[in-house]
């Protein structure tokens, strides 16, 4: 199971790519595998200001539904436009073209609470 | 309690299936993916291990009469070699189980029941059986492979040693051999596609599985798990026990009036409630719906019209064949007409839904 080294992670199986005060958010390869074929992604709108822990939408797989929780506080800058037509892009390429949100973060210190690749790797190995 | 294994569990493990515990069995949920498997059955051929299903053999000179009393369909109309879809009801009008009844001989019938209801069904049958009826549980010795899809039907026909299987009509069966493997070959299924259900003794299950994949490689036959079995049956609006029907729902409410022979001259269990629901109209009806707004309605979601709660979703998914969110729900029967709109509450939001004609999907090569 891939756990790229350049990302941070949450216990809810999201990944965060940090680029200054902007981050990109998606779900991990492990998460998409657990969910199975994704058939719909319901996202929030660009401009939404949210707090860490808020629901940022839902991922609907054939047999399961998963909430996307905000791993940090911030504002939505962009929603992956590919998700509407091809939600399975998350299954096929979770760490790259299957990203979900680009976000401007409002509390950079929250990044310190995220998991390292090693810690996340250990979590999914359990 | 650990889950039981079907004879094919090692084959599923080797194929890399994602396994789940279902009705006490370790079963494949999916292999390559639910959408892929769903498509395989609709377009070509798929094989399901559904060996968790229960098989009871009922014998006795009065077996037909007994079954006419405990099931809602008319077993008097059932010829030797014919299969009947039916249900057992309680006197209070709930459904004990839905089942297939196979007429093997004048005094011998095979009942195929849901795995989750096996113990309950056996207790129910024994409780209502008169003297002289024997009921044997053959489930643990029997494997069941469903082979379904437009290309599955000719494939199985080509494997049959006896020949002439193409002539076997829908809901009939015969005993025969598939390249030497003895099987009960049944023109039935739970997908809407043409195909067979093959009952074999456990010791032949792996050989039959391998034969199907060996001979089916030209049509790219695929193993199919319970996940796609659920989406396939939902597109046909086939009821799933525990979701859409249970001890609280009558066959009339469940839109199974077509199997409920209320005029048969027998005091079958559940008859009073059936007659009442037919005379007064059932309080609620199982309907098929489509979501008009973006979302997916899952089991348990409540249905509304204005401030009123008018029903509940019993099954729901994104239809892989149609690309629309579909589902089944019990609605108050005065609001259950085709074309009527209602709302489903999903995570606090109201989404618009419409009662639509069913089955949702029409197979190109219908099962019949």
Q: Are B224 and B181 in contact (CB under 8 A)?
A: no
ipTM over 0.90: no
Q: CB distance B296–A37 less than 8 Å?
A: no
Instruction: Tell me if residue B137 falls in helix, strand or coil.
Output: strand
Same-domain check for residues B44 and B176: yes
Q: Which domain holds residue B92?
A: 54-139
Cβ-in-10-Å burial (0-12, 13-18, 19+) of B155 comes to buried
Distance from CA of B319 to the nearest CA of A (A): 9
Same-domain check for residues B317 and B274: yes
Same-domain check for residues B115 and B184: no
Give chain B's mean pLDDT: 97
Ordered domains of chain A (ranges, CATH): 8-107 (2.40.50.100)
Pairing of strands B25-30, B54-59: unpaired
Any domain includes B289: yes
Q: CB distance B230–A63 less than 8 Å?
A: yes
Listed residues B89, B116, B139: the one ending a domain: B139
| % of chain B at pLDDT higher than 70 | 100
Vertex A109: Cα angle to A105 and A110 (nearest 5) = 70
The pLDDT assigned to A126 comes to: 74
Listed residues B113, B139, B165: the one ending a domain: B139
- CATH of residue B61: 3.30.70.1400
Distances (CA, A) of B191 to A75, B200, B244, B279, B303: 46, 20, 16, 33, 27
Return the residue matching tokens 């401030």.
B307
- CATH of residue B344: 2.40.30.110
Same-domain check for residues B269 and B231: no
Q: Is A107 on the interface with B (CB under 8 A)?
A: no
Q: Is A37 on the interface with B (CB under 8 A)?
A: yes
The pLDDT assigned to B103 comes to: 98
Return the residue matching tokens 């259900």.
B197
Task: Using an 8 Å CB-CB cutoff, list chain A residues near B227.
Answer: 36, 62-63
Region A91-97: what's the mean pLDDT? 97
Listed residues B204, B235, B266: the one ending a domain: B235
Q: CB distance B318–A62 less than 8 Å?
A: yes
- Could you tell me the two tokens for B343? 């709302």
Pairing of strands B25-30, B4-5: parallel
Same-domain check for residues B95 and B164: no
Is A123 a residue whose pLDDT tops 80? yes
With bands split at pLDDT 50, 70 and 90, how would you rate the model's confidence at B2? confident
Any domain includes B127: yes
- CATH of residue B155: 3.30.1360.120
Same-domain check for residues B200 and B164: yes
Which residue, among B75, B66, B50, B199, has the nearest Cα to B138 in the 3D structure?
B199
Is B1 a residue whose pLDDT tops 80? no
CA-derived radius of gyration, chain B = 20
With bands split at pLDDT 50, 70 and 90, how would you rate the model's confidence at B221? very high
Q: Are A2 and A29 in contact (CB under 8 A)?
A: yes
Return the residue matching tokens 């989406």.
B231
Same-domain check for residues B298 and B326: yes
Q: CB distance B33–A39 less than 8 Å?
A: no
With bands split at pLDDT 50, 70 and 90, how would you rate the model's confidence at A92? very high
Q: CB distance B34–A60 less than 8 Å?
A: no
Any domain includes B362: no
Same-domain check for residues B171 and B154: yes
Same-domain check for residues B221 and B164: yes
Cβ-in-10-Å burial (0-12, 13-18, 19+) of B102 comes to buried
Same-domain check for residues B25 and B126: no
Task: Using an 8 Å CB-CB cutoff, list chain B residues near A58.
Answer: 347
Same-domain check for residues B197 and B207: yes
Q: Global pTM?
A: 0.94
Region B205-228: what's the mean pLDDT? 97
Any domain includes B245: no
pLDDT 10s digits, B174-194: 999 999 999 999 999 999 999
Q: How many domains is chain B partitioned into structurally?
A: 3
**In B146-281, alpha helices (H):** 152-159, 205-215, 226-235, 271-280
Return the residue matching tokens 């299924």.
B189
């Amino acid at each position: 199971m891939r756990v790229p080294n350049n990302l941070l992670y949450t216990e809810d199986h999201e990944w965060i790519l940090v680029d200054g005060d902007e981050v990109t958010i998606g779900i991990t390869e492990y998460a998409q595998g657990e969910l199975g074929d994704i058939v719909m992604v319901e996202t929030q709108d660009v401009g939404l200001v949210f707090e860490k822990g808020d629901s940022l939408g839902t991922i609907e797989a054939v047999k399961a539904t998963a909430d996307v929780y905000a791993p940090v506080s911030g504002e939505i800058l962009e929603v992956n436009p590919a998700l509407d037509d091809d939600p399975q892009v998350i299954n096929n390429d979770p760490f790259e073209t299957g990203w979900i949100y680009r976000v401007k973060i409002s509390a950079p210190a929250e990044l310190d609470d995220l998991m390292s690749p090693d810690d996340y790797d250990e979590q999914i190995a359990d | 309690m650990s889950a039981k294994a079907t004879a094919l569990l090692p084959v599923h493990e080797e194929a890399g299936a994602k396994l789940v515990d279902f009705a006490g069995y370790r079963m494949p949920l999916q292999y390559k993916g639910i959408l892929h498997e769903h498509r395989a059955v609709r377009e070509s051929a798929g094989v399901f291990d559904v060996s968790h299903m229960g098989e009871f053999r009922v014998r006795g000179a009065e077996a037909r009469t007994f079954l006419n009393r405990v099931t809602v369909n008319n077993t008097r109309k059932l010829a030797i070699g014919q299969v009947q879809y039916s249900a057992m009801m309680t006197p209070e009008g709930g459904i004990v189980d839905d089942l297939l009844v196979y007429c093997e001989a004048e005094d011998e019938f095979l009942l195929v029941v849901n795995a989750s209801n096996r113990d309950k069904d056996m207790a129910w049958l024994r409780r209502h059986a008169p003297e002289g009826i024997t009921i044997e549980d053959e489930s643990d010795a029997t494997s069941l492979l469903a082979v379904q899809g437009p290309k599955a039907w000719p494939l199985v026909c080509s494997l049959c040693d006896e020949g002439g299987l193409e002539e076997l009509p829908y809901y009939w069966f015969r005993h025969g051999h598939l390249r030497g493997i003895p099987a009960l070959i049944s023109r039935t299924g739970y997908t809407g596609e043409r195909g067979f259900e093959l009952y074999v003794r456990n010791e032949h299950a792996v050989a039959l599985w391998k034969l199907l994949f060996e001979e089916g490689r030209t049509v790219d036959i695929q193993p199919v798990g319970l996940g796609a079995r659920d989406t396939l049956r939902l597109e046909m609006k086939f009821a799933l026990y525990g979701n859409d029907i249970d001890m609280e729902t009558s066959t009339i409410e469940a839109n199974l009036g077509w199997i409920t022979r209320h005029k048969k001259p027998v005091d079958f269990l559940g008859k009073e409630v059936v007659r009442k629901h037919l005379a007064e109209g059932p309080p609620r009806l199982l309907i098929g719906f489509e979501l008009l707004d973006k979302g997916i309605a899952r089991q348990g979601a409540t249905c509304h019209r204005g401030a009123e709660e008018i029903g509940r979703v019993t099954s729901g998914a994104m239809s892989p064949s149609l690309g629309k969110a579909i589902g089944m729900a019990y609605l108050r029967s005065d609001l259950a007409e085709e074309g009527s709109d209602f709302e489903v509450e999903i995570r606090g939001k109201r989404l618009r839904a419409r009662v639509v004609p069913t089955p949702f999907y029409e197979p190109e090569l219908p099962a019949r």
